[in-house]
Structure 1
Amino acid sequence: MSFETLLNSLSPQVIGSLKRAIELGKWPDGRVLTDEQRRRCGQAVSAWEQRNLPPESRTGFVPPKESPCAPRPTDERKLTWV
């Protein structure tokens, strides 16, 4: 089975199971993930999320911070002294 075929066959439930296995370091039946299995699961999750989720919903997404140097919206009203 090719990687493309595998990605096309994954469902959100399977991705959730893979993510959980990566987090815990073991499969649902209690067997420990090898380093190779953890790496491949991570690749599959990352590739699936890249194809199927918007950036803000992907694992590891960090919203951009506003830079202190970035232009800020200006208030168009001008102050006048009375």
Structure 2
Amino acid sequence: MDANQLIDAITPEAYERLVFAVETGKWPEGTLLSPEQRDYCMQAVMLYQSKHNKDADHMSISAGGEMMFKSKAELKKRFQQGQEDIVRVNPNQE
């Protein structure tokens, strides 16, 4: 199987499982990954992102295979958008 066939075979659900495995070192069911498995999962995640990641987060691979970096200000602005309707509660105030 070549890289393009691998990318095409990865479903969005499988991609999320791979990301979880890379981030935590275990599968969602709790089984630990070997260092070799984690490396393979990371490679699969990067290949998938290189084709499908249209809105790259800080330090990820965007569509086209380019490594993308976002500044702290860009990330803060992105995460603040659409939060006007979130009710914030301060338990220390009466």
Q: TM-score range by the shorter chain?
A: 0.5 to 0.7
TM-align CA RMSD:
2.1
Residue 56 (structure 2) pairs with residue 57 (structure 1): yes
2:14 — aligned with what? 14
- Contact 1:49–1:58 (8 Å) recurs in 2: no
Aligned length: 64
Distance change (3 Å), C-alpha of 1:59 and 1:45 = farther
Amino acid corresponding to residue 40 of structure 2 in structure 1: R
Q: Give unpaired runs (5+ residues) of structure 2.
A: 60-67, 73-94
- Contact 1:26–1:32 (8 Å) recurs in 2: yes
In percent, how many aligned pairs have the same letter?
Answer: 31
2:65 — aligned with what? none
1:72 — aligned with what? none
- Contact 1:15–1:45 (8 Å) recurs in 2: yes
Name the larger-Rg structure.
1
- Contact 2:3–2:47 (8 Å) recurs in 1: no
Q: Give unpaired runs (5+ residues) of structure 1.
A: 66-82
Q: Deviations over 1:7-58 (max 9, x none)?
A: 111122211111011111111222110111110100011011111122x425
Greater fraction of residues in strand: 2
Mapped to 1, the partners of 2:17 and 2:26 lie a distance apart of: 11
